[in-house]
Amino acid sequence: MRNRWMRTSMLAVGLVLLLVFVLFSVLVASYYYTTVRTGLETKAQTSTDFFTNYINKTYAEFYDSAYRYTESFEDADKLELQFIDTDGRIVISSNGITAGTNPGTSDIGDAIRTGETSTFVGRSIANERIMAVSAPIMYSGNRVIGVMRYVTSLRLVNRQLLISVLAAAAACMFVMLIVVLINMIFIRSVILPVNEITTVSKRIADGSYGIQIEKTYGEEIGEMVSSINEMSMKIAQSEKMQTEFISSVSHELRTPLTAITGWGETLLYNTELDMETRKGVAIMLKESKRLSKMVEELLEFTRIEDGRFTLNVEQTDIAAELEDAIFAYRDLLSQEQMEIVYEPPEKDIPLIPADPARLRQVFLNVFDNASKYAKSGGSIDVSIDSDGSFVTIKIRDHGPGLPEDELENVKMKFYKGSNAKERGSGIGLAVCDEIIKYHGGTLKLSNAEGGGLLITIRLPESSMTQSPGDGE
């Protein structure tokens, strides 16, 4: 936004200044040239009228009068006065250098042909830029007997014009500098606060509910800050109420679920029950265990949400923990006609600082998630490797995978992918993601080449970054 604003404003102001500069240059040039031309034309007309009315009594007196007038010419240091015959040749000149030459410019021919004053702007024989005004001298009222011509160099005029144009260019640059400074002040007063608000808004969107923006702005931005702060507080209150409600309900459910599970297992040992009843009790027991697992996940997540989650960190053999989790889950998967295909590492995996119980919880949750998405009779591929900085664990199922827009959402609490085969709380992967983050690692979901969902877990081998409130 900052760059776009600067480009747009500077382009608009630059175009306006360029237009003003061009118009000013044209008007100033026109003014200077018009002033010089008008002065020369007035002087030439006055002189020729004087010649016609008072000096040229006879045709023979023309040259004698022209010679005497040239001798007394007072502006010889500024102008060149020329008397030209009807053939266009200079007869007399105030500087004496050009006498006898034929300038050949259009003003001379026009004055002789039309009997009217004519102007020429161009280069002289010496290649100097000049302005010349030729006024015809009339004899007997209607016949041109010669031309009086005033010639001036435009060097001083062009120099003055250049100074004016440079002054205009400097003024435009000064205005542009002022505009840049104003834009910078505007950006500092508007764009930077917007960036700060955007940053805080992203933190709120990422789950930092209750965070507040410092109220140092006024007007519309201040109102927006107040609205975002109020929204953040209301979301925080809502999240707190939701967490407290889930925690309370989960605690209340644990006791009856424990009783149901215990009596269900007791009933299964009763040999007097018929097969249909035993089947019903088995279903009841399975569903109560599933519900108990959901309650535990909810309680785990509420502990994470309110900061009561802790890690008991020790040097952990991550490969051994993974293999124990595979061994524990393998029999359960075999009942679903599925298997875990484990690829042992080619080299020893180093010990890492971690909570082994929490990591085993992550592995079992991920295996459970993979079994929900995998095809019946398929397999779950597991591998572990180390690159010297991170230990990488990959767990892949051979199910249908997930739409690309669902990959990141699956880690959100209460979110369940559209391809899930079984019901669940939508909490398992969210808990796993938080546990891995507490270990300073990452949990990433992607669609595997050839189909299926790939979960990649990366854990640091040395220093671990813990969130506030973590214990060791």
Which pLDDT tens digit goes with each residue over 368-425? 878 876 665 578 899 999 988 899 999 988 887 787 777 777 776 666 655 555 445 5
Q: Same domain, yes or no, for 291 and 156?
A: no
CATH number of the domain enclosing 50? 3.30.450.20
Average pLDDT over residues 182-194: 76
Residue 218 carries which DSSP code? -
Residue 435 carries which DSSP code? H
Which of 101-110, 183-192, 245-254 has the highest average model confidence (pLDDT)? 101-110
Q: Same domain, yes or no, for 291 and 336?
A: no
Average pLDDT over residues 219-223: 74
Q: Biggest alpha carbon distance in the chain?
A: 160
CB within 8 Å of 192: residues ≥ 6 apart: none
Q: What is the pLDDT of residues 266-323, one digit of tens each?
A: 887 777 778 888 788 888 887 787 777 777 767 776 766 666 667 788 899 999 999 9
Helix 356-373 to helix 428-438 angle (10° resolution) is 150
Q: Same domain, yes or no, for 59 and 122?
A: yes
Structural domain contains residue 187: no
The pLDDT assigned to 19 comes to 92
Is there a contact between 80 and 98 (Cβ–Cβ < 8 Å)?
Answer: yes
Give the separation between CA 460 and CA 391, rounded to whole angstroms: 6
Q: Same domain, yes or no, for 278 and 340?
A: no
Average pLDDT over residues 168-192: 84
Structural domain contains residue 252: yes
In the chain, the number of structural domains is 3
Q: Same domain, yes or no, for 223 and 326?
A: no
Q: What is the helix (H) or strand (E) element at residue 24, kind and residue range?
A: helix 2-50
Q: Same domain, yes or no, for 358 and 246?
A: no
CATH number of the domain enclosing 331? 3.30.565.10
Q: Same domain, yes or no, for 105 and 141?
A: yes
Structural domain contains residue 68: yes
SS3 of 206, please? coil
Structural domain contains residue 189: no
Structural domain contains residue 81: yes
Q: Same domain, yes or no, for 338 and 448?
A: yes
How many Cα atoms occupy the beta-carbon half-sphere of 450 within 13 Å?
3
In our burial notation (b when 16+ CB lie closer than 10 A, e otherwise), range 266-305 reads: ebeeeeeeeeeeeeebeebbeebeebbbbbbbbbbbbbbb
Is there a contact between 291 and 253 (Cβ–Cβ < 8 Å)?
Answer: yes
Q: Is 262 or 206 the better-scoring residue by pLDDT?
A: 262
Q: What is the pLDDT of residues 143-153, one digit of tens each?
A: 788 888 899 88
Q: Same domain, yes or no, for 285 and 319?
A: no
Structural domain contains residue 48: yes
Structural domain contains residue 69: yes
The pLDDT assigned to 250 comes to 67
Q: How high does pLDDT run on average in the chain?
A: 80
Which of 7-11, 226-230, 355-359 has the highest average model confidence (pLDDT)? 355-359
The pLDDT assigned to 221 comes to 74
Q: Is the pLDDT of residue 467 over 60?
A: no
Is there a contact between 209 and 217 (Cβ–Cβ < 8 Å)?
Answer: no
Q: Same domain, yes or no, for 130 and 16?
A: yes
Chain-centroid distance of CA 402 in Å reads: 32
Average pLDDT over residues 444-463: 86
Q: Same domain, yes or no, for 324 and 441?
A: yes
The pLDDT assigned to 182 comes to 83
Structural domain contains residue 198: no
Q: Phi and psi at residue 346, in whole multiples of 5°?
A: -75, -25
User: Which of 96, 98, 93 is CA-nearest to residue 82?
Assistant: 93
Q: Same domain, yes or no, for 69 and 90?
A: yes
Q: Is 414 or 469 the better-scoring residue by pLDDT?
A: 414
SS3 of 107, please? helix
- Single out the residue in 277, 305, 333 at which a domain terminates: 305
Q: DSSP of 79-104, one letter per residue?
A: -EEEEE-TTS-EEEESSSSSTT----
Q: Which residues pair with 119 in a beta bridge?
A: 133
Q: DSSP of 305-354, one letter per residue?
A: HTT------EEE-HHHHHHHHHHHHHHHHHTTT-EEEEE--SSPPPPEEE
CATH number of the domain enclosing 296? 1.10.287.130
Give the separation between CA 344 and CA 336, rounded to whole angstroms: 24
Which domain, by its residues, includes 105?
2-160
The pLDDT assigned to 393 comes to 93
Q: Is the pLDDT of residue 471 over 90?
A: no
Amino acid identity of 85?
Answer: D
The pLDDT assigned to 460 comes to 92
- Single out the residue in 267, 287, 305 at which a domain terminates: 305
Give the separation between CA 378 and CA 394, rounded to whole angstroms: 17
- Single out the residue in 160, 178, 194 at which a domain terminates: 160
